[in-house]
Structure formats: structure tokens, C-alpha cells
């Protein structure tokens, strides 16, 4: 008998990983300044046109593929936003027992680097789930729509979503080894504290070459208590782009490894 195995979407910095009203004016500029002062200097903006493809292995076995892609800017109300899409699919073999097709979209304000909207569609086995979240970061609230039910939740100032947090972290100047960045994340009706600790530098081999990377460990906690679900280790390129090259995490049964197998960087016309 094949036991049910959950293959996490790459998006939750998979962190699909541990876990989305227009606004302008003085409040948002103050919020942006506060975020940058607290979390580090912004080095790199979201590169429209970037497309990253990853292989997913579960317990050493090929399990599927995942794609992270940055689209061209769109308007969300009166705000300019960059759409980021994460898609994870199981391969033919795994799909015989437990098909997985996860799609997550985050629309990130280009001026303040905070999410405006979040959309999630998950088909895992026989279970289908969708959710939309609309952010009002001026009033620190979100409107969440799931299975036809609308709910309003309070959020922390500058809260990221489960996908935007990966890209927001990439824009920052990484702390030195042994130190951490702390980012507020809203996901699933809860406010999470995400700690991303820098471990050190490491060379990683991939099908598209060798990369000198910065190894980090992401740990999420809710109301001061760390999740007992295993940390996620992510290796980013040691340059201003901070491209995720490899990700590893333990799951209920075994472990999952995600490796970069293809990358298309933004062309000057896409930026």
C-alpha cells in the first residue's frame, strides 16, 4: 500500500515553504522605510522576466518539477505590482498514486515591496483547495476568501505572504554568518515570525553549473513557538541577485530536495 506523501510546493520558502486595495501616500512611504531599516538595505529589485526551474526529489527519487517566474508589471487598482508565480507538479510516476498540481501567485507592490494580492490553487490527491487574500497594509488587515467564505484578519505592519517573502528576502543585504533576518508573514489566518539564519558559504553543483552560495536556514514560529515541522535549508547565489539554487527540508515521510536545473534571467527590456 502506498502511503499518502505530501510534496510541498516550492513556493513556501516552500519557506510551498513553512506555510495575500490600492494604497499610496505618507503611510506607505513610512512603512517602506521602516521595513528597509529593520530588515537591511535593499540591493536588488524584482527582475521581471526571470524564470527558474527546479527538479524535486523525495527520498532521492524524482518526484516532479517546480517553476518560479516573475511576470511583467500589472496594475492592482492604482498600484503597480509585479506578479510572481510558483507552480509545482508531480511527475507521471508519482501522479499515479498522488497527483500534485500547486499554483501560487503573489502580486507585489513595486514601490514598497509588500504583497497586494495572493492567490493559491492546490490539487493534491483528491483534495482541491483555493484561496485569495487581499492586503490592506495601511490599516494592517487582510480580506481572505476561501471556499466562498470571507474573513478579515489583522496583520503585522509590512507583512509578506508565503511566496513574496522569498523574493523580499532576496532583495536584502544578507546578514553575516551566525546572524539572522526576521520577517513578518501572514498565511492561513495566522501571523508568523520567520527567522532566516545565515550559516555560511558553500559551493553547490547543479546541472547548469557550479555556484558559490550562501547557506541559510528558515525557521517559522507562531506566538513565540517554533513549528515542529522541520526547518528548511536554502542556498542562494552569493551575489546581488540571490537566486535560490538548492532547497532541502524534512517532511512527514522522508525528505525533499529541490535543485535548480534551468534559469532564464531578465533581459534589459524586461526590467
181 Rama class: left (phi>0) / alpha (psi -120 to 50) / beta: beta
The answer to whether 64 and 92 are in contact (CB under 8 A) is: no
Q: How many CA atoms lie within 13 A of 32 on its CB side?
A: 16
Inter-CA distances, 104 with 55, 62, 123, 127, 133, Å: 18, 22, 12, 16, 11
pTM beyond 0.75: the answer is: yes
The three cell numbers of residue 236 are 542562494
Contact 237, 245 (CB under 8 A): yes
3-state secondary structure of 217: strand
> Residue 80: exposed, middle, or buried by beta-carbon count in 10 A (0-12, 13-18, 19+)?
middle
Q: Are 195 and 169 in contact (CB under 8 A)?
A: no
> Which cell numbers in the block locate residue 82?
509585479
CA distance 253 to 216: 23
Question: How far is CA 159 from each of CA 153, 240, 244, rounded to the nearest angstrom?
Answer: 12, 23, 21
Comparing CA positions, the residue from 136, 196, 137, 199 lying closest to residue 172 is 196
Whole-angstrom CA distances from 128 to 101, 121, 215 are 9, 8, 34
Other Cβ atoms closer than 10 A to 57: 17
Alpha-carbon dihedral 216, 115, 106, 156, rounded to 10 degrees: 60
Query: Residue ranges of the domains in the chain?
Result: 26-261
Q: Tens digit of pLDDT per residue, the chain (271 long)? A: 333 333 333 334 344 443 322 222 222 233 333 334 444 455 456 678 999 999 999 888 899 999 999 999 999 988 999 999 999 999 998 888 888 888 999 999 998 899 999 999 988 888 899 999 999 988 999 999 998 899 999 999 999 999 999 999 999 999 999 999 999 999 989 998 889 999 999 999 999 999 999 999 988 876 555 455 557 899 999 999 999 999 998 877 778 899 999 999 876 555 5
Amino acid at each position: 500500500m502506498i502511503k499518502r506523501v505530501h510534496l510541498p510546493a516550492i513556493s513556501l520558502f516552500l519557506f510551498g515553504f513553512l506555510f495575500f486595495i490600492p494604497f499610496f501616500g505618507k503611510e506607505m512611504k513610512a512603512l517602506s522605510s521602516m521595513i528597509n531599516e529593520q530588515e537591511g538595505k535593499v540591493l536588488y529589485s524584482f527582475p521581471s522576466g526571470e524564470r527558474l526551474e527546479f527538479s524535486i526529489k523525495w527520498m532521492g527519487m524524482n518526484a516532479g518539477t517546480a517553476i518560479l517566474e516573475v511576470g511583467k508589471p500589472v496594475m492592482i487598482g492604482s498600484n503597480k505590482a509585479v506578479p510572481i508565480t510558483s507552480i509545482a507538479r508531480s511527475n507521471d510516476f508519482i501522479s499515479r498514486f498522488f497527483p500534485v498540481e500547486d499554483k501560487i501567485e503573489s502580486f507585489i507592490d513595486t514601490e514598497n515591496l509588500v504583497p497586494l494580492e495572493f492567490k493559491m490553487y492546490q490539487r493534491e490527491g483528491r483534495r482541491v483547495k483555493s484561496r485569495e487574500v487581499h492586503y490592506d497594509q495601511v490599516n494592517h488587515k487582510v480580506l481572505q476568501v476561501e471556499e466562498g467564505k470571507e474573513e478579515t484578519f489583522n496583520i503585522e505592519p509590512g507583512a509578506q505572504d508565503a511566496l513574496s517573502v522569498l523574493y523580499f528576502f532576496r532583495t536584502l543585504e544578507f546578514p553575516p554568518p551566525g546572524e539572522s533576518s526576521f520577517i513578518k508573514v501572514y498565511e492561513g489566518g495566522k501571523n508568523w515570525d520567520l527567522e532566516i539564519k545565515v550559516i555560511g558559504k558553500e559551493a553547490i553543483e547543479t546541472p547548469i553549473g557550479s555556484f558559490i552560495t550562501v547557506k541559510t536556514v528558515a525557521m517559522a514560529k507562531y506566538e513565540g513557538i517554533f513549528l515542529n515541522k522541520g526547518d528548511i535549508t536554502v542556498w542562494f547565489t552569493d551575489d546581488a541577485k540571490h537566486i535560490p539554487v538548492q532547497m532541502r527540508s524534512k517532511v512527514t515521510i522522508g525528505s525533499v530536495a529541490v535543485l535548480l536545473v534551468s534559469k532564464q534571467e531578465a533581459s534589459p527590456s524586461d526590467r
